[in-house]
Amino acid sequence: MNSCLYETEIMHHRLAPREHRFAYRFFSFYLDLDEIDELTRRIVLMSRNKFNVYGFYDCDHMGTPGHSVKDNLLMYFNENGIDFKSGGRIMLLTYLRTCGYVFNPVSFYYCFDEKNNPLCVVPEIGNTFGELKPFLVRKKDLHSNQFKNTQDKLYYISPFTRLDDQLDFRLTIPDERLNICIDTTKNNQKIILTTMTGQRRELTNRNLLRLTLQFPLVTTKVIALIHWHAFRLWLKRIPYQEKTTNPHLQKEVFRAWSKDNKNAGCVHP
């Protein structure tokens, strides 16, 4: 099977307007979208669209409620002129719902053609308002085994960054090692450095149990740490922006939040 786990370290280093750095260890799932149903039959702690220690829910990702992750991604490819043919493979690096709760700061769809050549990668960035935004990085941006691309953010990821900042993606194709970098920049000056590095582990019942005991309740820890470090940034008097500021700069967002319509919620396929 192509699916596996990655034991990872996340590093976040803010350079401006004041320095702030942290690093934590977690683990992530790297799943072949065509293998998920087979995995849920084989992996005791994992289910699809129903409660388990780890639950893969299609509605936790971008697209139309009621459709599978793959169907929604194929529709996104079609809208963006990506020719994904039968026989291709889509790998998703993500967190799963852990005991019913999930928060994914970012997931990554690595897409390969029918000959296993890299086709594109789609970082899918989430925020604490339940919104999701995909950033398409195309084959033309592939250099050796790394996708490199810079795009305008135009999305509310954090109250401590500006909506018109840019995201600088350097996304190495996962193999035995994981090496992902997403830096936040403004006027070619780096503001925040973010890396995700890790080591591949086979997705077995034994390995998943070991990592569960070593890193329990990953998604709960992720959201708790986000709020803890937001509090520390607030204490450092980093400039803060409300979600309702400059809504015209928040574009191409799935499950868009507003005061009147929090978001669409989760509908199972």
- Model confidence at 268: pLDDT above 50: no
Q: How many helices (H) and strands (E) does the chain have?
A: 4, 15
Q: Verify cis geometry, omega within 30 degrees of 0, for the bond prior to 17.
A: yes
CA-wise closest residue to 218 among 99, 123, 44: 99
Lookup result for tokens 């799935």: 254
Question: pLDDT digit string (tens) for 182-234?
Answer: 999 998 899 999 999 999 999 999 999 999 999 999 999 999 999 999 999 99
Distance between CA 182 and CA 164 in Å, rounded? 16
What local confidence, expressed as pLDDT, does residue 230 receive?
94
What local confidence, expressed as pLDDT, does residue 260 receive?
64
Q: What are the beta bridge partners of residue 109?
A: 92, 122
Q: Are 61 and 69 in contact (CB under 8 A)?
A: yes
Q: Beta-carbon neighbour count of residue 56 at 10 Å?
A: 25
**Strand pairing category for 89-94 and 46-48:** unpaired
What local confidence, expressed as pLDDT, does residue 256 receive?
87
Q: What is the DSSP string of 53-119?
A: SEEE-GGGSSS-TTS-HHHHHHHHHHHTT----TT-EEEEEEPPEETTB---SEEEEEEE-TTS-EE
Of 27-31, 46-50, 205-209, 245-249, the least confident: 245-249
Q: Are 58 and 68 in contact (CB under 8 A)?
A: yes
Question: pLDDT digit string (tens) for 160-182?
Answer: 999 999 999 999 999 999 999 99
What local confidence, expressed as pLDDT, does residue 128 receive?
94
